[in-house]
Amino acid sequence: MGQKILVVEDNELNLKLFCDLLGAHGYEAEAVRDGREALERARAFAPDLVVMDIQMPHISGLELIEQMKADAELRATPIMAVTAYAARGDEERIRDAGAEGYVSKPISVVRFVEAVAGLLEAAAERAAAEPEPADETPEAVADRQDAAEEGEAVAETESEATVEEADAETEPLEPPRHSRESGNPASDGDAEGGGEEEKLDPGSSPG
């Protein structure tokens, strides 16, 4: 089968028309009649494109578009809005909600197919231009965050230890014991060194 398209439409005739038309052009179409089921079905079907009717009971297409664009699994999926009313400002409101495309009823078969193909092609080009995300599981992300926090804790501990060592190095050294006892560090040195100095004979004259 070809690319997958989710069709959200409450009108039975329109729903069949869209699905038959998409199937005839090689697409795999999935029908959703109740807009309240659209999000759950979209997550399960993982479509390449969503065709969204705007006027539906229970929930409007605009609300569904906003919800899909707020969903991490669905926000990258392009949406083509379909509406029976083309009032002034409708297209702007639809695009502001997040839809990438817009067609109005009654549907032109040629325009509808061209719009579908154009949105799929644009989505493929965007996907090719964007860098591929790292294949990282939620567990790997959690482990990486834990490792980063542990590294910060180790760095903080080492920093504290360095400060303590620096404080220890700057503490005054205890003075030598003999200096404390004599009160004059130089006296002992003079006494000890005095015997080593050369003494001249008072009875002899130099030269």
| pLDDT mean by block of 10 residues, the chain; 207 residues | 92 94 96 96 97 94 96 95 79 91 89 95 88 61 67 55 50 51 47 45 46
Q: Which of 60, 54, 51 is nearest to 21 (CA)?
A: 51
Domain that includes residue 76, residue range: 4-129
User: Is 36 within a domain?
Assistant: yes
Q: Tokens standing for 3? A: 């690319």
The answer for residues whose C-beta is within 8 angstroms of residue 45's C-beta and 6 or more apart is: 4, 6, 30
User: Is 183 within a domain?
Assistant: no
CATH of the domain at 101: 3.40.50.2300
| pTM reported for the whole predicted model | 0.62
Given a contact cutoff of 8 angstroms between Cβ atoms, the answer to whether 80 and 99 are in contact is yes
Given a contact cutoff of 8 angstroms between Cβ atoms, the answer to whether 101 and 81 are in contact is yes
User: Is 146 within a domain?
Assistant: no
User: Is 175 within a domain?
Assistant: no
Question: Which residue do the tokens 């860098």 mark?
Answer: 131
Please tell me the predicted confidence (pLDDT) of residue 204.
Answer: 46
User: Is 73 within a domain?
Assistant: yes
| CB half-sphere exposure, 100, CA atoms < 13 A | 21
Q: Read off the pLDDT of residues 87-102 as tens digits, 9 standing for 90 and up.
A: 777 888 999 999 999 8
Report the 10 Å Cβ neighbour count for 33: 14
User: Is 66 within a domain?
Assistant: yes
User: Is 195 within a domain?
Assistant: no
- Measure the CA–CA gap between 58 and 166, rounded to whole angstroms: 71
Number of structural domains, the chain? 1
Please tell me the predicted confidence (pLDDT) of residue 192.
Answer: 45
User: Is 122 within a domain?
Assistant: yes
- Measure the CA–CA gap between 53 and 36, rounded to whole angstroms: 13
What three-state secondary structure class fits 7? strand
